[in-house]
Amino acid sequence: MRIDRRRFLRASAAGPWLAAGAGVPRIAGAATNDARPKTILMLGGTGFLGPHTVEAALRRGHEVTLFNRGRTRPGLFPDLEQLRGDRDNDLKALEGRRWDAVVDTSANIPRWVRSAAAVLGPNIGHYVYISSISAYASLTKPGTDESAPLAEIADPTVEQVDGETFGALKALSEKAAEEAMPGRVTVVRPGLIAGPDDPSDRFAYWPVRVARGGEVLAPGSAEDPVQLIDVRDLGEFLVTLIEGTTTGVFNALGPAGGLTMGRMLDACKEAAGSDATFTFVPARFLAEQGVSAWSDMPAWVPAEGDTAGFARVSNAKAIGVGLGFRPIVETARATLEWFEAQPEERRSRLRAGLAPGREAEVLAAWKARDEQG
């Protein structure tokens, strides 16, 4: 089964200043022993990763301010300072303010990064920019680390974010951050982010489907690698980086010891307490049936050819500075509990994966082929 870069990035897309006391620029990967509470500005903060980062920061005694348009879940965090504005054209609320650190979860184009740097200027000590492993030029080889070449784009002024441009614009945004704030930037490159509040259902499909029980169509082999990170673990990691003023570039995905499709599905079954059974169907047959990796079969791509390295990205550097992982069964359980608490309209149609009827058709076709020899 082939999955071209355009399709993968399209799914992924639907899917950063010197402050008082900041001192000299930090060495990449270095940490300080400053244990005082930090003041943190969240650019965004009410979507998926943002709220879990805010909650982690509050639990650890930090002070958080949110800056956003007030359109996505405006009722969240009523006790926190909320600044209104627009990343695209209205940053007035940030003028003259000071924070120890800023977390930028929302910039997909370099102009937004440069605009934030121009306004916040010398009043921010540490900029944490959330990028993506899609920023790499290629993920064909297992073991890609933070030194690998980045994606490029013919016209760097393009601002339309789609499957063609998403990764390269993330790479340019990383560059813009470091150019504006040399030595004070942390770039975090997640892969698939999983857990409660995920608007994409790219992981949620599996615990929800497994909870229904019965025969489950599973892609490829039970030994195919899978990489993801629980949104709560990612939020905690961002706070850890801020607490240490740790700069540099980090791939944030896991778990530490590796994960396979089979173990992930078994964890979903344990979390749901279901009677599900799994029928693994080879990638080639799925392709013949028009079943797409990543979108129809979420969290998975074939571990071969052009996608051999998609789920084998190195996370050693991030683990070395504090990235940790909860058991995958906890991620599955929390995701399922969150999904089951959503309104019926939200639960009625998963935003990723195969519809039940289509899944049954593919399973029937696989069995018919098997019976025919």
Task: Kindly state the tokens that stand for 200.
Answer: 């994409």
Helix locations, 133-279, DSSP H: 166-180, 205-212, 231-243, 261-272
**CATH 3.90.25 domain locations along the chain:** 205-227+258-306+328-371
Task: Kindly state the tokens that stand for 174.
Answer: 């990383």
pLDDT given for residue 309 in this prediction: 95
Please, are residues 39 and 100 in contact by the beta-carbon 8 Å criterion?
yes
Task: Kindly state the tokens that stand for 67.
Answer: 């800056």
Q: Answer left, alpha or beta for residue 5, where phi above 0 means left and psi between -120 and 50 means alpha.
A: alpha
pLDDT given for residue 126 in this prediction: 97
- Residue 223, judged by CB atoms within 10 A of its CB (0-12, 13-18, 19+), counts as exposed
Site of tokens 């307490």: 273
Beta strand segments in the chain, E: 39-43, 63-68, 81-84, 99-104, 124-130, 185-190, 193-194, 215-219, 229-230, 248-252, 277-281
> DSSP state, 158?
-
Superfamily of domain 5-193+228-252: NAD(P)-binding Rossmann-like Domain (3.40.50.720)
Mean pLDDT, the chain, whole residue set? 90
Question: What is the tens place of the pLDDT at every residue in 326-340?
Answer: 999 999 999 999 999
Beta strand segments in 136-191, E: 185-190
Average pLDDT over residues 281-294: 97
Question: What is the tens place of the pLDDT at every residue in 200-210?
Answer: 999 999 999 99
Backbone dihedral angles phi then psi of residue 31, each to the nearest 5 degrees: -130, 150
What's the rounded Cα separation, in Å, for the pair 184 and 256?
Answer: 27
Determine which of 5-14, 51-60, 156-165, 210-219 has the lowest per-residue pLDDT on average.
Answer: 5-14
pLDDT given for residue 193 in this prediction: 98
Question: What is the tens place of the pLDDT at every residue in 233-278?
Answer: 999 999 999 999 999 999 999 999 899 999 999 999 999 999 999 9
Question: What is the tens place of the pLDDT at every residue in 119-175?
Answer: 997 899 999 999 999 999 999 999 999 999 999 999 999 999 998 999 999 999 999
Class of domain 205-227+258-306+328-371: alpha beta
Average pLDDT over residues 220-236: 98
**CATH 3.40.50.720 domain locations along the chain:** 5-193+228-252
Please, are residues 249 and 148 in contact by the beta-carbon 8 Å criterion?
no
